[in-house]
Every structure is written in structure tokens, then in C-alpha cells.
Structure 1
């Protein structure tokens, strides 16, 4: 009985001890024992595991991140939710475990650190509102000043990633006034340098990095930051300082690629700094022979091409760049894209081979990643060059055809006969080569082993037999000729496309002319020869009507070229030369008032020609739209003010004035601001609203003139059918009057 009583008392005491310990260790208790318990549990349980998960995820993301050494390396690893997808489970675990500290260890000194881990993991996953909220919580409620500063440094980095440079600078200004410990100072300097780098302020960025390097230990990451600093010095034209940091890369255990690119860039700078140095003595040949560089030969040739171009050795530069394109292997398409871009630029600027430049831009755009910084610029330039090459070739084609028209009839006939003879020889030679290829394929097939796709005496599928494939090609050419890849190629009723298929050097060379089907050369004087001769001759503008049509095509193409130079390619000097050529060759051009206006816009402020073109416009076309524009606009070039910064809102504002009946104010706003919309996607929409308003305030004759101007200036506008209906209705109304 006594034993049972003692046992009962013991159990009661144990319960009381447990209850007292439980309440003493409450996460809301301020007692030393409770705090010590929660500090221990938080640090070596939840927080430790959360931090390890985050560190492991960061390590994997760094390994997976593909550096683009043609671009300036970002000082800090980008916070990219796509990059974090493979490690999302680890990041989610970090969030889950860090949350335990917030839920169960409120009085722990590791609470702030856990919120920082939680916020950082959420930022990596792209959960920006939750991540930013966690970091702001630490700043507002943190107990440790160092933790609050670390949270602010991470918050600044998040603002930079979001391109919110204003808020990032505000945080940086606050942190610069705080007493930071050694690690926080290092992280703050790196983040501040990252801020200025991403904002394009390279001089400020490298100045901060110079103060940071003494704080960095020897590591691959330090080598990478030295490389980024060297690249920024390159952009600033300070090649000697850049080389100093490229050499520092080699002293900080870089990986192979980083070491290779630092050596390449350093060699490139040495040649720039020593113009007399021979490229063969720099060390490129040795690097090409090194088997470890087999996958990097494209970069070596690319660098040699850049240096050759720097020395104005254009043929050598093109040769090196073409070797670079050929040397690109496997998945290394990024370097190939930059090689194509360089070839496109050289062909455009140095050689003025616009068609080849366009082809290289096409090739670059296919393989250039959409997230690349140049992608949008390349896409816009490619689109501009598509239109440019069409107009440019049209001008040259009409020039060539008009020159042919000036030849005497006998010389023209001989010229056409020479073209036909050359085409015939090329056709027969091509068929001979195709026959030889077929015979070689047949011989190879006869010696080869049976195809596994064949069973017994079953017929072999043609696409497995190269001999049959070649035979099919030859039969196709015999029947249809050498056809381009296009839709509806068998239609016999299509119009002749000589201008599209020919070239300025040989404007009658066309893939659309009839082709003889025999293997023998077509004889001069035969029926086929004469038919082909007559077909090609039809393209030459021999009559006055044909010559007038050719001149009109040339005039319109030059006009389009001038606008492409001005608005798309941003080449004002070529735009001016083209517009002045139109005025010289076509003094009665229907585009004269607009050309005067565009010349006025294109010349720089202070140039006497600018005012001269304005005076001509006001004198010869005082009532035109363009005369009103140059008279009213305080900044007719559309270069300076906030005009045109938000065309959608500005259109809505003008349209509201129109609906409210405030026509004069709406018209003044549109005519004053229209230059800012020039070349933009909403230009014709503003012009259409202007037509409506003119109909309200200036009468039917001005309304008719405004409609005609719109139809002439915007021939491809989606609103053109509507304008034609308006024109018909206005004509009927004026007739009734």
C-alpha cells in the first residue's frame, strides 16, 4: 500500500516537473533557460537544415548557370525562377524549415536569420511579394542590427533584379550610413557594384570593386568578379587596367572556360595596345593547336576576326569570322550567333552588301536566345533590313532595266542572248553533275549490304535508297527545271517575277523563265530560245508607258528607303542623301512636302539646312499638314520632351476631347505632338483622328484634302478601306452642294 502511494506521488511530481519545464521553455518566455533552449533548438535543428538546403540549392544553380562570355558577366548570380526549377524541392524545404523557427521559436536569436533564409529562398523561386515581405519584416522588427543590415542588402539585390534602381539606390544610401561588420561590408560593396553595373554605370561599378577586392579571399568566384571588372574596363576603353584584372583571374583558380576567355581577351587587348604587333606572334596559333581548345576554336577565330577588323583588314576579318562559324560545334550556338552578328555588321557597314548582311541577321536571329540582351535590337534591325533590301534591290533593278532600255536594239538582243547562253551552260553542267552523283550512289548501293528495312523480295522504300533519290531529283529537274522552294510552284498562270528573281548586275536573270527539259544545250534561233528571249525582253521598259511605270517604282522605292534610313536604321546622313536624290531625280514628286518636312526633322539643331528646308516647306506648301506641324511644334523633331512617351494615354486624351466636342483643342494637341508618333505603331491612328476632327472644324474641302493626304501617307494602313468610304461619301456630299 505504501509502495503504491509512493509510486503515485512520484508520477505526480514528474508531471509537475514536466509542466513547469514546458511553461518555462515557452517560446514567448523571456527567462534565460527558455531562451537558451529555443536558441539551441532553432540553430541546430530548423535553421541549420534550412541554411544547408539553401546553400546546396545555390551551389546547384551556380553550376547550371551558363555564362555568356560575350556579355559582361553579372557580378552576382541572377535570381531567376527558371534557373531555380531543378532545385525547387530544396528551396521549398528551406522555406518549410525556416518557417519552423518563426512558428515555434519566437524568442530565439536565430529568428531574424531564418526570415532572411525564407525570404531569399522565395525570391529564388520567383515569389517576389512574399520574399520582399520577409526581408522587410526583418528590417522593421529585427533585434540584431547586423541581421537587419543583411536583410537590407538582400532587399537591395532584389530591387536590382527587378530593375527598380530608384528603390535600390535608396536602400544603398541608408546602408552607407550604417556601421557594417566585415562580411556585411563586403556583401554591400558587391551589391552596390552590381547595382551600378546593371544600370550601365561601369566606371562607378569598377571603382567600388577596386575597394572590394582586398576583402575577397582567393576563389573561383573572386576570379569571376575580376573577369567582370576587366570586361567593364574594356567597355570604358581602359585596356591596360582590363589586362591587370584578366591576369588576376589566372591567380584565383578559375575554371577552364573562365581562364581561357580571360587569356583570349588579354591577348586581344595586347594587340590593341600594340598596333604594330603581328597577329601571328600573339599566341593564337598555339591556342588553335592545343587539343584542349577544340571546342573553343570558334572563339579564337572570332577574336582574330575582331582584331583584323580593328586594323581595317576587312577580307581577313571575314575569313576569320567564317572560320569561326564553321568551327562552332554541338550546342555552342551562342558564339555562332555573335559571329553571324559580326559578319552582318561588317557586310552592312564596311562592304554595303546589304542582302548578305540581311541573311546573316536572319541566321543570327534563329539561334540567338530570346533572353539575350541583343535579341530585340537584332529582331528590329532584321525586320528593317527585310524592308530595306526589298526597296534597295528594287531601286537598283529599275536603274539596271532603264540602262538596258537605253541600249540600241541590236546590242540589247545580243545582251539577252548572252544571258540565255550562260544559263543554258550552267543548266547542262548541273545536270551532268547530278547524273554523276546518281551513278556514284548506284555503285555504292550495289556494294552495300541489304537494308534492314527490306524483307525478302519486298520493294525498297525510295527514301532509303540514295540512287533513287538522286534519280528522282534529275527527273524533277528535267520536267520542271530548277525551281525555288515556294508554294504553288506548278501554276502555269503565275505572273513573271523577273525583278524579284534577278539581280542588279543581271536584271534579266530569273528563275521564273521557261527551262528546257533536255540535257543538250538549247540552240540559238530555236522556238524555245526565241520564246525565252521575248519573255526576258518584256521586262525592259522600252515604251514611254513602261518607262514611266519604272520611274514611279524607283521613286517610291527611294522614298521608302529614305524613311527606313531615318526611322528604322537610325542613319540620318544616308536618309538625307536619299531624300535629296529624290528631289534631284524627281523634281515633281508627290512626296515633296513630306520630304521637305523629313529633311527639316533630320538635320541637327543649329544646321543652316534645317531652317532652309523649313522655309521651303512654308513657302511652297503653306496650307499642308507638315507646314502646320513645323509652325506649331515646340520640338518638331520629337526628340526632347515627354511627348509620345505614352501614346495610348495621349490618344485617349485627344479622343476624349473629340467626344466632348472640344475639337480645336484636340486638333492642336494632335498636330503639335504628331512628330513624336512618327514611325510608331499608332501614327496612323492619330492621323485618322485628325481627319475626323478636320471634318468638324475646317469644312468639306479641307476634309477631302486630309483624306487624300492620309491615303497617300499610309497606303498600308488597316484604316484605308474606311478612309475610302469616307472619301466617297464626302464626294457625294460636295457634288450635291
Structure 2
């Protein structure tokens, strides 16, 4: 019984100690031990395992300056999700089950680290802030603050980062472990801000507290790279030598030795033979078999410094073919090839394709890849137009030949391709050793390059081609089988024990050859196809000329392409802008630019480019755009007030003073609208057609088309915008408002919808001051309706749209057509004392659905733009 009682007491003590509610010494001791070794330790171990995997999976790129922190790879984190989830669960248990232990705050910190690794930045931020504000452990608070600093730098929140740095700088008793983390994080801070001296200074401080030799070796290597980048070769040499300590990975020691040799001797050496021998020795060293591409690449960079460009290119091409462990290096090699072809030869086509190759080895999210993409955007357009010109020019010439000449040309092409493929196959053959023993073994099958026919791949391929050329693709069978087959019916063919065609290996060289029929099919032979080719050529000559002038700064080729455009396509709609570009190009190169100014004035007196050449000192930039906006607004108001002459004068004076701004195309369209009021219908139509062909703004083009449609015949309407009218029956193609509406499109970014069958209302919008002056508006509207619409039962009311605007509403109208009839009569006949003319001209009608949208946004001008585009 005494033994049983003692056991019961022990059990009761243990059970009592398990309680997290009682804060006694026994309870605290129990929970401290359990939370530390059963939860915190296991969670911390799992997190460190994942961090070690991130480091192990990262491939260091020693050809570039190493990053201060190894980037966290999302794929590695995803692969270790179960381990991190387990670590989170353990940390959560340490918090929930052992609330009185001293490891609760540490567990919160681990949860913050897990959130950080998994990219949950906001959660990590909250966890680190909580630990900093709650924990009484100074070391833990410092760790949380340093982690918080790194997170702020990740998010580029430099103001918060600066505050954290300032706070930590005033803290005392920071442990060596935390000092190392702090200085390394400071180096990361300066790295993101491209502060070279800051990075070097922070890493120099970090080295004094580095926890292990491997990390010390890496930091020394980074310092060496940065000193070398700054041109401090002596310091770079010292740090490269220091980075060899601590048993670094072989690849790092290789680069450290190579770069140390460069800064010490190779770059300064006048003995070129000695330098080249050094690279040759590195290349031959068996230990460097996986780094041969690096050796050749570094040798190429050395030869580039000696201005030996042909040898540099040769070495770079060799480096691409050499084995290596770093795929990104291949990308850098192609990038260097692109750079040389651009700088030395102005070969934009080769540059584009080398950059394409570089991107196949560099990840999309890499900053280098983003830089290449930006550089390549213009080159992609250049190559597209150059290759389209080459192709379409060739096809146009071939299309002009007779059928016999086309066939002969296609046959010659196929023959030339056969020869090319044969030459490539021969080049791949191993060189033969004319040794007597090889001759003795000719029939043994031991020598793949022997003269025996069936041991020589090229001979077999050539024989297959010759057989195919002479006999066609016939079954491979004995002569007696062929003769016997003549006497057999098609249903009694003798099965052959041999294959019906050449073996795949024998026919491989022929697989890529086009047939005569497939080549002839590609030759354009209809007027429509020829017209398409010429349309593409016209576009490409123009775009290429523009690209060469503005983006590539190549004036002479730009002039050449634009003059070809004018010569080959004298009726091109792009002629005004082409003349203007030729004017600029000739002016820059000291040529006869006056001739193009004269042509613009003679042929296109109303073009914006004519205004520009006539006013070479006209203002440009944001200020000009602002002033031209004011001119456009004044001209627009004059137009809608019915003062068309004044509107035209304002448009002309604005274009003369500010000829090329973002408002130019709007001003030109307004001038055309004035033409519709003051000049003939044919003149109005002609100007609209020219505007549609030359304008780039799709919204303005759509507006111009809406103006043009009522003046077009059924056939012209169908041809105007075939992409807009896909299926139109005969009832839709009438020269009335229904036909006009058929091709209208609502702008993509508009919140409004076109629903003409819906009930509409008519709206007059006034400012507060205008409302006060138009005191008789409601009464005048009632009288207007009684006189003109006695049976329509129209209702009139008003409401406040916004603090600035009141609106008068006339309703209902069964559909848009009825509302439009009222709008026309209102515009022509309605008058009210005190009502400004511009308010009357700015009135509009709107569907019930769209009015609900307008009432929410309160943006009257946005709807007016929709109204003018779709209804007027």
C-alpha cells in the first residue's frame, strides 16, 4: 500500500505539472523542458534542414558578382511543404500547450521564419513585430529586428528599413551571431540600392563575426569581386587568395585562382604568349573538364581586350560548344556575341538571334533576362520587317516568272538543298586514318569511317539520294520480283520479304527536303495574293524606315527604305509621314531636306507634318500638349456653338503653334468636322477616308468611320471595315441609321453599353450658375412639348447630379431612334431665355441602364464621349 501511495503521489505531481494554468516552479520547469525539446528543437531543426536545401540546390554563378543572400527558391520550398507544415504545427503546439514556458516567443519567431520562407510576407512581418514588442530576451528581439530589416529590404520599404537600422544602431549587447546577421543584412540593403561602397563596408564588418569558414570563404570571394569591379586589383587579389581558405567548393576555388591570376598578372601582362599558355594549361587540366566553357569564355574576353575581334568571336563560338555546369554562362556567351555583332558590325539581325539564344539559358525572372527583353523589343520588329521584305520581294519576283521558269527554279533549289545536306553530313564524318591496318579491317565492320560502302554513312546517303532522283521512291526488291509483279493483278501482289521503302536511317537526309509541288504551292498566283504581298511590303518599308531613324539611329538605311517606299508605292497613304521622316533624315545628314518640305506643302497642305516642317521652332513636350489641349477645347466649343469659321481658325492656329502633340489627331478630326459643315460632301468624305488611313488612335478611327458610314454605298460600307461587320443581312445594309449602327463598336474600357431598343431619356446638364440663369427652362420645355409632341405624353423633371451639376430630364422615349429624333428637333428649334448655347449643344440622350451607371459615376464628360462616338 505504501508503494502504491508513493506512485500515486508521483503521478499526481506529474499531472499537476502538465497544467499550463498554474505558474509554479514545477510547472514552469516541466513546460520549459517539454516545449524546448519536444517542439521548439524539432521545429528549428526542420527549418534549418529546409534552409540547407535552399543553399544546396542553388547554383552559384561565379561569372557574376555573387548575391549577399542566396535567393530562396520557391520550388525547393514547395518540395519541402510537408516539413515546413510539420515545423509550424510543432511551433504552434509549443505556444498553445506550453503557454507558461520561456520558449513561446522563440516559437513565434520560428513561425515568422516559416512564413518568410513560404513567401507570406505580411504574416512574417506581424510575427517578427510581435516578438520584438513582447519578448524579454534581448538576443531574440535582435534576431526578430534583423529579420524584419531583411523583410523591409525585400519589399523595398527603405523608410521602414532605415528606421530599423537606426534603432539597432542604438542597441547594446548585440551578440556576435546577431552582429554577423546584422552586417550581412546591411550589405543586402546596400546591394539593393546599388551602393557598392556600402556593400563592401558592411561585408568587411561581417567578416569579423562570421560563424564558419565556408561562409567566410564566400564573403571573401564577394569582396574580391567587388574590389575587382572597382578597379582595386591589389585588394581583389588578397581577397581571392583568402577565399581559398576554408575548403571551398572546387568551382569557387577554380574561379578564385583564375580571377586572382587575372588581377595580378594576366590583365597587366605584356607577354601575350604567356597569358595564352596559362589559359591553354587550364583548358587541358583534367580537373577542369566541366569548366572548359569558362576557360574559353575568359580567354575570349582577354582577346577582346587585345582588339582581336575575329579570334574573340571564334572563341565565343567554341565556348558555346564546350561542356559546362552553369547553363547561365551559355546565356552570357550569347549575350556577348550579340554585343559584339551590334557594336562592331551593326548587324541587328544577328544581334536579335543571339539574344534569343541567350534567353533560352537565362530564367525569365532573372534581371539579366528582363534587360535582354527590353533590348530585344526593337530588334524583333526590325528582323520581322527585314525578313518579310526579303521573302515578299523574292515571292513577287518568282510570281512574275513563267510556269516553266518557276519549275526550274524550284528544282534547282531542291538540288542545292541536297548538296547542302550532303556537305553537312560529310563534315560530321570522323577523319579517316589512312593506316594499313584500317585497310585490312575494311570488311570487319570495326572502322565506321572505312571506305567500305556500308560502313560509310555519307556514301549510303548519297546513294539513296541518287537512287531516289533516278528511280523515285520505289520498293527495294529483286529484279525478278519486279518483272513478276507486272503479270500480277493489283489484288495478287507478291509479298516481299524486304521493306517497301528505304530504311529510316538511309532516308533521314531526305526527310526535310520539300517536294516540287509544295514549293510551287507557295508561289502567289492570284491578284489577291499579289496585292497582299505588296500591302505587306509597303507596311514593312515604312515601319523599317521609321524604326531605323528613331530607335536604331541609322539615318542612311532609314532614308533608303523610305525612298524605296515612295518609289515603289507612290500612292501609299503613309506618304505624308514618310516625307516628314525623309525631311528629318536629310536634315540630320546634311542632305536636301527642303525638297520634302516642298512636297508636303504641295501634296498635303493640311497634314500635321506640313505644319511641323513649316514651323521648325514650334514648342513640344508636356507644355505644348497642355497648351494644345486648351486650343482644342476652345475650337471644340466654337464648333458646337455653331461658329464653324472660328473653330477652323482656332484649329489652324493651334496646329501651327503645336504641330505634333498627343492632341494633333483630335484637332485634325475636328477640322474635318468643320469641313463637313462648310464644304462639299465629297470633300468631307475624301478627308475622312484619308484620316482613317493615317490615324493610329483606334477610338478616333472608330469615330471617323461612324461619320463616314452615312455617306457610303452598300458596297463601300461592307468594304470599309470587314472585321467589324462579319455577318450582315440585306436588311442591315441600308443607307439609313440602321446601317450606320451596324458597324459601331463600344470602346473596350467604356462602362456603358449600346442598347438602342431600350427606353431612353433626354438629359440637359447645367452648372449651378447656369441653373440660376435659366429660370424659365421647365416652362419653355413644357411649351415646346405641347407644340411639337402633343400626344407623346413626355414628362419633364430635374434633379441634382452632383454638388456642381443639376440635370433636366425629358422622358420617356421608346428607343434610341425616337430619342434621336427629339435630339435633332431640340437642337434646331428649342430656345429658352438664359440657356447658354453650349449647354444646349452638350445635351444628350441615354438608355435607362446607362443612366444608372452615369448616376453612380457622376462623370458627365465620360458619357458624352460615349454618346458622341456611338450616336452622333
1:728 aligns with 2:728: no
- Give 1:314 shift: 0.4
The match for 1:224 among 189, 211, 218 is 218
Q: Secondary structure at the match of 2:136?
A: coil
Query: Over residues 304-334 of structure 1, what are the superposed CA-to-partner deviations in whole Å (9 max), with x where a residue is unaligned?
Result: 11121122210010011011011135x7532
The match for 1:196 among 175, 190, 197 is 190
- Give 1:563 shift: 4.0
The match for 1:138 among 119, 131, 137 is 131
1:343 aligns with 2:337: yes
User: Equivalences for 1:152-551 in 2 at 5 Å?
Assistant: 152-179=145-172, 180-270=174-264, 273-274=267-268, 276-278=270-272, 280-281=274-275, 283-328=278-323, 332-391=326-385, 442=454, 460=499, 465-470=504-509, 472=510, 480=515, 489-492=518-521, 494-495=523-524
- Give 1:582 shift: 7.8
- 1:153 and 1:142 map into 2 onto residues whose CA distance is 15
Query: Over residues 539-586 of structure 1, what are the superposed CA-to-partner deviations in whole Å (9 max), with x where a residue is unaligned?
Result: 9xxxxxxxxx99x9999756534543566xx55x43x66667789997
- 1:432 and 1:256 map into 2 onto residues whose CA distance is 44
Q: Secondary structure at the match of 2:202?
A: helix
5+ unaligned residues in a row in structure 2: which ranges? 396-408, 430-448, 461-494, 627-632, 642-646, 678-682, 714-734, 737-872
- 2:411 and 2:65 map into 1 onto residues whose CA distance is 55
Q: Where does residue 542 of structure 1 map in the other structure?
A: none
Q: Where does residue 90 of structure 1 map in the other structure?
A: 83
- 1:565 and 1:194 map into 2 onto residues whose CA distance is 41
Larger displacement relative to structure 2 (721-730 or 576-585): 576-585
Alpha-carbon distance change, 579 to 306 in structure 1, aligned in 2, over 3 angstroms: same
Alpha-carbon distance change, 226 to 731 in structure 1, aligned in 2, over 3 angstroms: farther
Query: Over residues 129-178 of structure 1, what are the superposed CA-to-partner deviations in whole Å (9 max), with x where a residue is unaligned?
Result: 33222112112222223211211211222233344444333322332232
Alpha-carbon distance change, 358 to 166 in structure 1, aligned in 2, over 3 angstroms: same
- 1:707 and 1:279 map into 2 onto residues whose CA distance is 71
> In the alignment, is the contact (CA less than 8 A) between 2:149 and 2:161 conserved in 1?
yes
> In the alignment, is the contact (CA less than 8 A) between 2:666 and 2:700 conserved in 1?
no
Q: Secondary structure at the match of 1:251?
A: coil
Larger displacement relative to structure 2 (698-707 or 191-200): 698-707
Query: Over residues 199-228 of structure 1, what are the superposed CA-to-partner deviations in whole Å (9 max), with x where a residue is unaligned?
Result: 322222112112222222552222222222
- 1:275 and 1:211 map into 2 onto residues whose CA distance is 34
State the structure with more CA Rg. Answer: 2
- 1:584 and 1:492 map into 2 onto residues whose CA distance is 32
- Give 1:43 shift: 2.1
- Give 1:11 shift: 8.8
- Give 1:49 shift: 1.2
Q: Where does residue 513 of structure 1 map in the other structure?
A: none
- Give 1:111 shift: 2.0
Q: Where does residue 92 of structure 2 map in the other structure?
A: 99
- 1:556 and 1:441 map into 2 onto residues whose CA distance is 54
Q: Where does residue 564 of structure 1 map in the other structure?
A: 547
Larger displacement relative to structure 2 (340-349 or 701-710): 701-710
Q: How many pairs does the alignment contain?
A: 596
Q: Where does residue 488 of structure 2 map in the other structure?
A: none
Alpha-carbon distance change, 184 to 699 in structure 1, aligned in 2, over 3 angstroms: farther
Alpha-carbon distance change, 468 to 17 in structure 1, aligned in 2, over 3 angstroms: closer
Alpha-carbon distance change, 625 to 432 in structure 1, aligned in 2, over 3 angstroms: closer
TM-score with structure 2 length normalisation? 0.56
Q: Where does residue 590 of structure 1 map in the other structure?
A: 576
Query: Over residues 417-460 of structure 1, what are the superposed CA-to-partner deviations in whole Å (9 max), with x where a residue is unaligned?
Result: xx999989957855986999999775669x99xxxxxxx98655
> In the alignment, is the contact (CA less than 8 A) between 1:60 and 1:87 conserved in 2?
no
Larger displacement relative to structure 2 (186-195 or 692-701): 692-701
Q: Where does residue 48 of structure 2 map in the other structure?
A: 55
Alpha-carbon distance change, 491 to 46 in structure 1, aligned in 2, over 3 angstroms: same
- Give 1:723 shift: 6.4
- 1:562 and 1:632 map into 2 onto residues whose CA distance is 25
Larger displacement relative to structure 2 (183-192 or 156-165): 156-165
- 2:269 and 2:183 map into 1 onto residues whose CA distance is 37
User: Equivalences for 1:640-651 in 2 at 5 Å?
Assistant: none
- 2:598 and 2:287 map into 1 onto residues whose CA distance is 67
- 1:238 and 1:617 map into 2 onto residues whose CA distance is 60
Query: Over residues 489-535 of structure 1, what are the superposed CA-to-partner deviations in whole Å (9 max), with x where a residue is unaligned?
Result: 355362299xxxxxxxxxxxxxxxxxxxxxxxxxxxxxxxxxxxxxx
- 1:633 and 1:11 map into 2 onto residues whose CA distance is 96
Alpha-carbon distance change, 175 to 624 in structure 1, aligned in 2, over 3 angstroms: farther
TM-score with structure 1 length normalisation? 0.65
- 1:704 and 1:142 map into 2 onto residues whose CA distance is 80
Q: Secondary structure at the match of 1:494?
A: coil
- 1:280 and 1:422 map into 2 onto residues whose CA distance is 52
Q: Where does residue 150 of structure 1 map in the other structure?
A: 143
Q: Secondary structure at the match of 1:215?
A: coil
Q: Which has the higher contact order (CA 8 A, sep 6+)?
A: 1
RMSD (Å), alpha carbons: 5.5
> In the alignment, is the contact (CA less than 8 A) between 1:687 and 1:710 conserved in 2?
no
- Give 1:194 shift: 0.9
> In the alignment, is the contact (CA less than 8 A) between 2:692 and 2:705 conserved in 1?
no
